[in-house]
Structure 1
């Protein structure tokens, strides 16, 4: 039963005691608001769906974002990108209390951001907010009475993935024009193994066994280590690469790989248009299927977690499929 008492000249203090639930108290400036709140809380307790709002009402969104950035992000591969996204989320939701965050507010954020950045960027931002709220509820004990508001927001439609195939002639051109043995090896490995740019940049000789023809990746974008088989071409490229004292396979950083690749494509000798470094991963994935590997085998090599993502990276040529039909 709720007890409502006048507190001072302009406040109303509500206290609700019910067996099996912690005592709930709250102060209002208008009696009608106090009565309305008491009715809602008592109804939830009667129906067995009550969740305490106390901590969610006392915690700001920026506080959980800051805690997530300090405690969780350092363990994630996408720390740098997520730090930028957290800053964007703080600017919009930072001063909201967790209990007041609604799906409508997040949907408005989605629509506003879509006028500035692409759908995939907005999806990443909403997904990050969802991970932060889920961590707050599951690991930090901050209950959200209405559940995760992000779960009730429609995500933007993903843009159509690139379907640019890289021809063997184009790969040969890039290898021919490049004066860097490192870049030639990077390109060869990318198109032979489907490794991501960051995975190539982090390769270390101690994790490569040329006799067994495997490369172990302890850290990946998906946070799941994997071992990648090496083709004959990949092994030959690594055998011809000088070893560094640092133990790393490449001195080039991930961003430098893309820049060097773009310069090679744009050089007057190669003159290759509309080609990005990441297209090599798409090409490699498609070639694995064309070699006859099944879905599970390709996923084990590329590290794709879902069939949907694997399909976005696979661009099989109709003429090649026609040959297999006989």
Structure 2
């Protein structure tokens, strides 16, 4: 059991379990006992002492971001993006402040600084990450914060949702620029970028879902692929059209552990961006393929529940962001 000792006006909890030793100081005995019970349980389950050690009041917000990047981000999808963003936060002098002194005022000052540099949507993505960090620190590391500072500030308003569609001409031009004829097995990394774009246009899968696919996830005889991990945290089976299945067959199915698309997210982003820039195609993102696919699929899947099952959207409002029909197509249905 933990040892709880009163030291002046505070209470110190000390734990020795499985050859590991840690301690922490609290304002009340109840807080010390609560932490000790949780910490002991975590250590006995295999968690390291470092992961259960509370944050000290003199540690800075930068220290908090670094600890999260080291201990939590590796356990999450999007590890690379999180660690890059957290490293960028650490370079801001706004966060070189002790946790016990950091407040919503400091958080708002950072937001105002960033509004002069980037779009509101970028800031809100960063605030989402910071909010997750502060929440984890308060609940798991007993960080000396009265509340989550992100929750106490006003967020900038996001711009209007994107409506960009992908034309057949743009699709063909990108494939041609990247050296893929859309009829043979991709060989070079550039050709795999074009292949990924075409597959996204046929399936409405996200970039991360496409790049995480292994041949063990594909069930071509039954015309679907299984996604065990998605952005919303739920598994999903994606049915394949004849065109989508043909693309998978072009990729030459291999060992179950081999990735279907053998390129990295960073390479895909850079190569796709360079291709659109070189071709003079304006305001086209790889993710726009998901909107184009959802809109095209809606013509064949009129039931919104079926469409959301394919795309993985959990609400109609989110699905509407990706459904952008041509007004003339709707007019033709009216007669």
TM-score, length-scaled by structure 2: 0.71
Match of 1:22 among 24, 28, 45: 28
Matched, 1:249 2:260: yes
**Do the aligned partners of residues 158 and 240 (structure 1) sit closer, same or farther apart at CA in structure 2, a change above 3 Å counting?**
same
Matched, 1:303 2:322: no
The structural deviation recorded for 1:88 is 3.0
Is the Cα–Cα contact under 8 Å of residues 216 and 228 in structure 1 kept in the other structure?
yes
The structural deviation recorded for 1:130 is 1.0
Give the Cα separation in 1 of the matches to 2:327 and 2:76: 39
The structural deviation recorded for 1:127 is 1.5
**Do the aligned partners of residues 220 and 111 (structure 1) sit closer, same or farther apart at CA in structure 2, a change above 3 Å counting?**
same
Query: Which residue in the other structure is 1:237 paired with?
Result: 247
Task: Provide the aligned C-alpha RMSD in A.
Answer: 3.2
The structural deviation recorded for 1:239 is 1.7
Q: Which runs of 5+ in 2 are unaligned?
A: 1-7, 11-26, 30-53
Query: Which residue in the other structure is 1:282 paired with?
Result: 291
The equivalences for 1:123-162 within 5 A come to 123-142=124-143, 144-145=145-146, 147-162=147-162
Give the Cα separation in 2 of the matches to 1:136 and 1:241: 44
The structural deviation recorded for 1:264 is 6.0
Cα deviation 1:210-237 (Å, max 9, x = unaligned): 1111111223334433221111110112
Is the Cα–Cα contact under 8 Å of residues 120 and 158 in structure 1 kept in the other structure?
yes
**Do the aligned partners of residues 315 and 92 (structure 1) sit closer, same or farther apart at CA in structure 2, a change above 3 Å counting?**
farther
Number of paired residues?
A: 278
Give the Cα separation in 2 of the matches to 1:125 and 1:242: 39
Give the Cα separation in 1 of the matches to 2:83 and 2:106: 21
Give the Cα separation in 2 of the matches to 1:175 and 1:88: 34
Is the Cα–Cα contact under 8 Å of residues 120 and 159 in structure 1 kept in the other structure?
yes
The equivalences for 1:25-64 within 5 A come to 57-64=57-64
Matched, 1:191 2:191: no
The structural deviation recorded for 1:306 is 4.7
The structural deviation recorded for 1:251 is 2.4
Cα deviation 1:25-48 (Å, max 9, x = unaligned): xxxxxxxxxxxxxxxxxxxxxxxx
**Do the aligned partners of residues 95 and 318 (structure 1) sit closer, same or farther apart at CA in structure 2, a change above 3 Å counting?**
same
Matched, 1:96 2:97: yes
Cα deviation 1:225-263 (Å, max 9, x = unaligned): 322111111011212332456722122333444455556
Higher mean displacement: 187-196 or 213-222: 213-222
Cα deviation 1:146-196 (Å, max 9, x = unaligned): x22211111111122332212345434555665434345423311111112
TM-score, length-scaled by structure 1: 0.73
Give the Cα separation in 1 of the matches to 2:174 and 2:9: 74
Q: Which runs of 5+ in 1 are unaligned?
A: 1-13, 24-53
**Partner-residue secondary structure (3-state), 2:156:** coil
Cα deviation 1:59-93 (Å, max 9, x = unaligned): 43233222211221001122222212212333334
Give the Cα separation in 2 of the matches to 1:204 and 1:55: 40
**Do the aligned partners of residues 258 and 97 (structure 1) sit closer, same or farther apart at CA in structure 2, a change above 3 Å counting?**
closer
Give the Cα separation in 2 of the matches to 1:170 and 1:264: 11
Query: Which residue in the other structure is 1:43 paired with?
Result: none
The structural deviation recorded for 1:119 is 1.4
Query: Which residue in the other structure is 1:107 paired with?
Result: 108
